[in-house]
């Protein structure tokens, strides 16, 4: 005898969803642009886009967490910190270590921004862990892509497309994520060295299979984090050398790297760069650096003009996001931009979500 499968939830019966759908349909008909919003904690960083807010922050709560399955489904408005705490209570966590931001910052906002933290090269990117998304598309129609299973190649992978989509493809309502068990042991080794030395040492550390889940350089220290079973962590940490940091000190450093390790001084621009790990360190005026992802992500605060940074980026095939004083990303090739616009149009035929918050985001 069995319980049989749990019945599928029907979100179309939910009054909140019905209202949001109606709002989208009306806006589409009236030619009004809508910006899906969680709790708007990132508002200050965005220019005032021409568009009305579609507030989704109130659509909150964990819908289903089956610890034995290592999967959670939560409403998009669930505060990320609430979710993380609920998972931790069951000894589980998000594999992509996202920035947690303001206490009110939502899961939907995190998925829409698509940012992954220090563990990204070793465990998972946000999009890797994304299993399913239920959303209202640009016609105000409820669509469910993916689900709660690990493998699913039926239809195009729209769920993963939502990661980093900046609210341009639809209003996310429910999000399903793959989880991982919290490790038994976490240990961070530190070695005082300069940036060039750190970058030279990183490949050897990354070449060793095992418990490595973080490889960074911050404030003159090379940091290597190991997580897993006690035996494996002890072995790998010993092989890495350096000194073992006290756990509270180490936790603090990794959360700094996760949330953004540099604050720009007057006259500086702050960049988050994605580079090949073997990219050299650029000589730029008054540059301050922090390095994550074994050299693959670098934070740069500099008085150098944007053009100098962009030129250095294109020389190594990297990408940059200027985070401050205002958000600006390096431009995409034209053919890709055109295709992206057509893809957005496929999800949102009338352009009700075409608020332009992502591509240029210029001042």
Q: Tell me which residues in 2-21 interact with other proteins (CB under 8 A).
A: 2, 4-8, 10
Helices (H) and strands (E) in the chain, counts: 10, 18
Query: What minimum distance in Å lies between the beta carbon of 114 and ligand FAD?
Result: 7
Own/partner long-range contacts of 79-83 (Cβ < 8 Å, ≥24 apart):
79/39, 79/103, 79/104, 79/105, 79/106, 79/107, 80/105, 80/106, 80/107, 80/109, 80/110, 81/105, 83/107
Structure-token pair, residue 72: 């959670």
67 binds other proteins (CB under 8 A): yes
Closer Cβ to ligand FAD, 115 or 301, answer by number:
115
On whether the CB atoms of residues 176 and 148 are closer than 8 A, the answer is: yes
24 binds ligand FAD (CB under 6 A): no
Write the binding mask 300 to 329 for other proteins: x where contact by CB under 8 A, - elsewhere. -----------------xxx-x-------x
Query: What minimum distance in Å lies between the beta carbon of 168 and ligand FAD?
Result: 8
Q: Tell me which residues in 232-271 interact with other proteins (CB under 8 A).
A: 232, 235
106 binds ligand FAD (CB under 6 A): yes
From the list 155, 246, 248, 267, which residue makes contact with other proteins (rule: CB under 8 A)?
155
Query: What minimum distance in Å lies between the beta carbon of 92 and other proteins?
Result: 8
From the list 96, 122, 145, 166, which residue makes contact with ligand FAD (rule: CB under 6 A)?
166
Preceding amide of 156 cis, omega within 30: no
SS3 category, 19: helix
Closer Cβ to other proteins, 75 or 328, answer by number:
328
User: What is the distance between the alpha carbons of residues 209 and 349, in angstroms, rounded to a whole number?
Assistant: 46
User: What is the distance between the alpha carbons of residues 315 and 102, in angstroms, rounded to a whole number?
Assistant: 36
Question: 66 forms bridges with which residues in the sheet?
Answer: 71
102 binds ligand FAD (CB under 6 A): yes
342 binds other proteins (CB under 8 A): yes
- Choices 68-76, 78-86, 242-250, 257-265 (CB under 8 A): range interacting with other proteins: 68-76
């Amino acid at each position: 005898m069995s319980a049989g499968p749990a019945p599928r939830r029907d979100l179309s019966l939910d009054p909140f969803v019905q209202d949001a759908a109606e709002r989208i349909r009306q806006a589409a008909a009236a030619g009004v642009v809508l910006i899906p919003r969680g709790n708007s904690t990132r508002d200050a960083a965005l220019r005032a886009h021409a568009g009305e807010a579609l507030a989704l922050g109130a659509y909150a709560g964990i819908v289903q967490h089956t610890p034995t399955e290592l999967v959670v489904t939560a409403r998009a408005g669930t505060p990320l910190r609430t979710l993380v705490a609920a998972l931790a209570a069951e000894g589980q966590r998000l594999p992509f270590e996202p920035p947690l931001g303001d206490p009110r910052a939502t899961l939907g906002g995190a998925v829409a921004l698509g940012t992954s933290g220090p563990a990204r090269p070793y465990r998972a990117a946000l999009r890797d862990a994304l299993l399913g998304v239920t959303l209202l598309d640009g016609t105000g129609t409820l669509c469910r892509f993916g689900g709660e299973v690990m493998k699913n190649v039926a239809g195009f992978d729209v769920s993963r497309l939502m990661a980093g989509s900046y609210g341009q493809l639809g209003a996310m309502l429910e999000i399903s994520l793959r989880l991982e068990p919290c490790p038994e042991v976490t240990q961070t080794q530190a070695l005082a060295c300069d940036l060039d030395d750190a970058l030279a040492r990183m490949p050897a550390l990354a070449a060793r299979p095992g418990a490595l889940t973080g490889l960074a350089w911050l404030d003159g220290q090379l940091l290597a984090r190991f997580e897993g079973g006690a035996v494996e962590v002890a072995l790998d940490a010993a092989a890495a050398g350096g000194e073992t940091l006290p756990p509270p000190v180490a936790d603090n450093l990794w959360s700094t790297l996760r949330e953004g390790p540099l604050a720009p001084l007057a006259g500086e621009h702050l960049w988050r760069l994605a580079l090949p790990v073997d990219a050299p360190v650029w000589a730029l005026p008054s540059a301050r650096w922090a390095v994550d992802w074994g050299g693959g992500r670098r934070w740069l605060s500099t008085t150098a003009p944007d053009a100098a940074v962009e030129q250095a980026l294109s020389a190594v095939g990297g990408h940059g996001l200027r985070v401050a004083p205002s958000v600006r990303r390096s431009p995409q090739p034209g053919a890709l931009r055109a295709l992206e616009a057509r893809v957005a149009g496929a999800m949102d035929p009338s352009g009700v979500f075409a608020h332009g918050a992502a591509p240029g985001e210029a001042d």
